[in-house]
Structure 1
């Protein structure tokens, strides 16, 4: 299938075709003794993911595990649908996200506030998953991939309080979710992902340091794809966070409202990203997902908490 790319080590990247776009959100299948899907993509992507798994020989009764790095809808919106399509799979998520998979009503209501009419087109609706099928992770955990191979989970908040990174004992692949930002393979650019309400600079930088300490061989970004330059990209990830926070803080000190703060930060960061200088279609789609408005709003939300007069 043209949306499935073998990455070696029995790992396959699946383009989930989010909202019909290519190259925006990836899921990954680890095809061991106990096949494991990392990230489901959105609800509307579930049939795309099911067909990709079928093409790789993984039928309804074959998928052992589904794990999501966090419960944002571009990563986990398909969990309920995928759980139905693969009835024996265990669903693995951090304990701070588990209840939202069982009862998605609050999550969907807040997503509706953020996305409005775009919600259905971009994400669809997260269907509930039976609590009995969910394994909730603490700060660390392990998923059995069969034959002594494990996927170890490490709590990595900062982008979201229910975020985990996952490292494969066989390949050294680290599934970074959104904790290291958004990688644009066309240009090698990396942009931060700092949406409200959970963004916290020190926590986010701590998670990037944790990722470095795990010594991964390769980073697998949900947005988007594999990266071999582990040290360079994680360093860039931390640098981007600091730049965006500094610029947003300046805008806030200057008394700018959200729209003007966004315009200023967007303008001052534009030169950092080759993709945004060209009229690149993929860049527009990334802007949708981790755009300046959401990033600046998340940083402002955090600044309001930390800069309050004590």
Structure 2
């Protein structure tokens, strides 16, 4: 299948084809003794993921574990569907996200407020997963991949209060979710993901520092793909956060409303990203979908309002 890439170490990147786009959302299959899927993609992507796993020899009763870095719909929207397709799989998530996978009604209601009519096209609906099949992680946890290989979970809020990073003991791969931002492999651009309501600058920077301290060999971005230049990439992640926060602070202190703040920040950050040059319109569209300036600036504004003395 043309949406599967072997990354070595029995790790396979699966393009989940969110809303029909390619190169936006990745799921990863660790094909060990106890096969594990990291990130499901959206609900509408679930059949794509199921077929990819089947082509790699993982049938309905073969998948041992499904792990999500956090419960946003582009990462975990397919959990209920994948759990139904693979009835033997345990579903692993941070404890702050577990109840939303069992009962997605509140999560879907808030997503509807944010995305409106786009919700169905982009994400579909998160189906509930039986509570008995969900394992809630604390600040650290371990997923057994078989043969002594493990996936260790490390709590990394900042992007979202239910976010974890995951490191593979065999490969040194670190699944960064959205905590290190959104990476576009076509252009090498990296941009922060700071949506409301959970964004917090210090927490986000602490998460990036934790990732560096784990000593990963490679970063596997949910958006999108593997990066081997670990230190420089994590330094860039932190720098991007500071740039967006500094600019949004300026707009905030000048009393700008959200629309004007977004326009100002978008204009002042434009030259940082090759994807926003005129010859890469599809890349620009991907950035706006995954790390849109309105969402990023709104998240930082929300944090600034909360942080006021």
TM tier, smaller:
over 0.9
Q: CA deviation at 1:254?
A: 1.2
Q: CA deviation at 1:100?
A: 0.1
* Residues 222-301 of structure 1: pairs in structure 2 closer than 5 A: 222-278=222-278, 279-301=280-302
Aligned to 1:121: 121
* Residues 10-29 of structure 1: pairs in structure 2 closer than 5 A: 10-29=10-29
Aligned residue pairs, count = 308
Q: Distance in 1 between matches of 2:287 and 2:132?
A: 35
Q: Aligned with 1:119: secondary structure?
A: helix
Query: Does the CA contact (< 8 Å) of 2:180 and 2:208 recur in 1?
Result: yes
Q: Distance in 1 between matches of 2:167 and 2:178?
A: 15
Q: CA deviation at 1:31?
A: 0.1
C-alpha deviations, 1:232-269, integer Å up to 9, x for none?
00000000000000000001111111000000000000
Q: Distance in 1 between matches of 2:102 and 2:283?
A: 33
C-alpha deviations, 1:63-94, integer Å up to 9, x for none?
00000000000000000000000000000000
Q: Distance in 1 between matches of 2:138 and 2:242?
A: 28
- TM-score, normalising length: structure 2: 0.99
Residue ranges of structure 1 left out of the alignment (5+ in a row): none
For the aligned residues, what is the CA RMSD? 0.6
The structure 1 segments of at least 4 consecutive aligned residues displaced by more than 3 Å after TM superposition are none
- TM-score, normalising length: structure 1: 0.99
Q: Distance in 2 between matches of 1:232 and 1:275?
A: 19
Query: Does the CA contact (< 8 Å) of 1:24 and 1:282 recur in 2?
Result: no
Query: Does the CA contact (< 8 Å) of 2:276 and 2:283 recur in 1?
Result: no
Whether 1:40 and 2:49 are equivalent positions in the alignment is no
